[in-house]
Structure 1
Amino acid sequence: MVEIVETTMKEEDELRPLRSKSVRTKVPEVEVRVFRRGEGPIDSFKSSLGGWDQDELEVADILDKYGFKSIYAFNINSGRGLPIRFNPKNGRSILPYKDGSLILIDGEPKDSLIKPITRILVGVAALTALIILVMKETPGWAKKLNFTGVNLNIPPWVLACVVIVFIRLRKRTRDFFGKRH
């Protein structure tokens, strides 16, 4: 014969195993080491992978956090590799990553606004100086500054050639010194 035991609500709660109403799953993570122009690492952190399959790196967040304009795969022995491409809509990497991977990233910092503004101002000053030298009659404000001690008469076509060469060299050598390590 089976015995029936009466219990209260409190006792039932104690006998029932503790269960949460949500299911906990492990979020896939990768370790990211960040380099800046091949030097560093400047930072190392764990990042959770996102996307539908939980295998995409949050590239846009890394770009914003470190002020990079682009990031590249990095190998300590061989240096910078291919750029890490990402979807511009959601900011996640196009290529998938495995949980627990070590990712080395090399970033290219954003250009500051001071550099191009300085180049433009130096170019305008150089062109102004050339125009003053080429003009047959020196302007009144240039005479007050005593800018030139010698009055050179250079034909206008020479000035035009100098301007064209200056502009062409500026466009061609924009990244010339940056690429030379």
Structure 2
Amino acid sequence: MEKENDRVEIEVEDKPNISDKTPRTPKLKSVKTKVPEVEVHLYQRGKGPIEIFKSSLGGWDQDRLEVHSILEKYGFKSIYAFNPSSRRRSVPIRFNSKNGRSLLSYEDGSVVFIDGEPKDSMINPITKMFIGIAVVTAFIAILFKESPDWIKRFNFLGVSIPPWILACVVIVFTRLRKRLKMY
């Protein structure tokens, strides 16, 4: 009989006391999981490393590198696998255009060496075009003492436009269209 009473007492002790005015909060159980990360050594055109950082892996299996964020943050148009001992690039790191994650998987804690190719600046191509147009205009001015008749007759809306300005506008327009299609 004593054993049954002990059991009853134990059950009563486990039940919350209703007369107690302090509310009992249930213990929240939380599980902390480590986000998988890789250490990235980032080079620019084989020079560097310009930065060493940890990047979290994403995707369903948490094994994909966030390539698009690296491209945006560092202004690269493409990134490649890199061998620092030989200072040579390997294959380009391909990524899904919809979510920006790499197509290849990476293990947690691995070290990744990446070489980036920076985006082209707009100043260099435009400067080269202006220099080319200036050289062509100088050759025309040297070779022809007088400008041809078709150039003199060219009037657009009653305004005489020098041909080198027209050529410059056409070249800049076509280059910008080609550049915008690439991105």
Q: Which residue of 1 aligns with 2:106?
A: 97
Q: CA deviation at 1:23?
A: 4.0
Any idea what the Cα deviations from partners look like across 1:25-57, whole Å, max 9, x if unmatched? 222111111111111111111111111111110
Matching of residues 142-153 of structure 1 within 5 Å = none
- 2:43 aligned partner: 35
Partner AA of 1:68 in structure 2: F
Q: Tell me how far 1:7 sits from its aligned partner.
A: 4.6
- Give aligned pairs, total: 136
User: How well do the aligned residues superpose, as a CA RMSD in angstroms?
Assistant: 2.3
Larger gyration radius, structure 1 or structure 2: 2
Specify the alignment match of 2:81 in structure 1: 73
Corresponding position of 2:116: 107
AA aligned opposite 1:135: F
The 3-state SS of whatever aligns with 1:41 is strand
| Structure 2, unpaired ranges of 5+ | 149-183
State the TM-score, normalizing by the size of structure 1.
0.67
TM-score normalized with structure 2 length:
0.67
Structure 1 unaligned runs (5+)?
140-181
Aligned equivalents of 2:90, 2:24: Cα separation in 1:
59
Name the structure with the higher strand share.
Answer: 2
SS of residue in 2 equivalent to 1:74: strand
